[in-house]
Structure 1
Amino acid sequence: MRQKMGVGHWIGFVVILVWCLLPVAWIVSLSFKSLDETTVGSPQFLPKDPTWDNYQVLLNWNDPAGHDFMRALINSFGIALIATFLSVVFATLAAYAIARLEFRGKRLVLSMALAIAMFPVVSLVGPLFDMWRTFHLFNTWPGLIIPYMTFTLPLAIWTLSAFFREIPWEMEQAAQVDGATSWQAFRKVIVPLAAPGVFTAAILTFFFAWNEFVLAISLTSTTGSRTVPAQMSFFVGPDPFNPPYAQLATASVIVTIPVIIIVLLFQRRIVAGLTSGAVKG
């Protein structure tokens, strides 16, 4: 009976793994196909004549397509990192106040944060477009960082508030008894203990800012601040009826590589952060 259950589990695991990874493998294979091979609608999985031309074009700053893509890649890194840093800093302070201090409207703050995080992005595009044009924030980095923080900050506050509740209050009091100020106790005792939660919040906010499309395509007009997800929608090629599928697949692979590297390098911290916040003492 145990052997049958074991075999069934392995079969289910393999089926789910193939189902999830088959589209990824197809995109990787498509990125190594030439333009001629994708134009004729090549149905085979593996490329007939593998080539690195698509990667050389997109990673070449002197090529027009590569220049736009590399510029968008720089914008994505800069905007996502700044939005993540600011969101985590403000969320750490706000979550500490919510978890440690007693004040009126604390539940209302958390409820409003959750409501903002669940608010549909599409409904904000029109008002933001008009406001950003008036305030000269359209097609700028701050014009994307600010709305990104609108959605990443509530997520980070909810994530971090759970961690601060789990930290014993006595540890902070002991640091203050030893002569530390409230700020020193917070910075040297509370924040290091909440490091898994801070790291988890940073990863989640970075992924949101890295993959966001609606705001990036609506609040930009040039490659000066357009991020990669929005820039990929302009990969139309000379023939509108035959988009450059190989270049689109190549761009998808390049954009996914940083995410894979982050997950592989910090998977233990991510898992520790997600599980620690769910445990109550």
Structure 2
Amino acid sequence: MKKIDKSRVFLEKNSKLFRCNICQSQTLTMIGNTLNCENGHSLDLSKKGTLYFIKHAVNTEYDDQMLSARRRVLQAGLFDGIIDAVGHQIPDEAQTILDVGTGEGTPLVKLVANRQQQDVAVGFDISKAGINLATQLAGDAFFAVADLAELPFADKSFSSIIEFFSPSAYEEFNRVLKPNGVLIKVVPASEYLKELREILYPVDSPKRTYSNEKVVDLFMEHYPNAKRVPVKYEWKIPQENYQDLLHMTPLHWGARPEAQAAAAEQPLQTITVAVELLIVHG
């Protein structure tokens, strides 16, 4: 089945998850390849099988090259331990899952495949390039280009909201999360990719160390009863993916050219993956 046909079938079954990005109507109907709201607004599926809820140009730090490098590294397994940990926090029964800032889509697709449930999964990102890559993945997840601050989703429509290293919009999360739903935010811990930081930045550089304390504190202000679960493991780097690992994050950009060259010439064998899951059960 072509991507556009598969997405049309998804939207015919799940149009109730969405709301109009113009008037916020929550009464939408799929007619052919067009999602229509009751007030006459409409969105057409692209040939890639996605919806573009953002009509204006967007500048993001993730270009095609970086996203492709990230795709190869994540397919090789860098985030598999994180994905497993997130999966353990989601109820066993079938869920409606929203992946915030899904990027090129690999974590969401792997999560759904691991669960082997009849989940309904939607991933969105502000990056058109990321979503275009995501639509190439096998699986039943639906992907869309959308703005975190104005989610094109209906009230109380998702039972699980997840975000891997993405910004947050807590009022919007609270609006679209079902009662008794679960929200899981993944944030890097201080040792995340520490070996890469140590190669790329000198001892006196602020980029050599990392803290997410402000992000965690803000989350805890919104959800004082949230649970915090640390996840840490060493990942053996496939040498064919080492250059991709160097280029998959903005870390590489800010380093001096000589540091970039040294990192490229002396491949790491392992890398530390250290994150914290911030978990709220509604």
Both structures adopt the same fold (TM-score exceeding 0.5): no
Q: TM-score, normalised by structure 2?
A: 0.20
Kindly indicate whether structure 1 or structure 2 has the higher relative contact order, using CA contacts under 8 Å at least 6 residues apart: 1
Please state which structure has a larger fraction of its residues in helix.
Answer: 1
Say which structure is richer in strand. Answer: 2
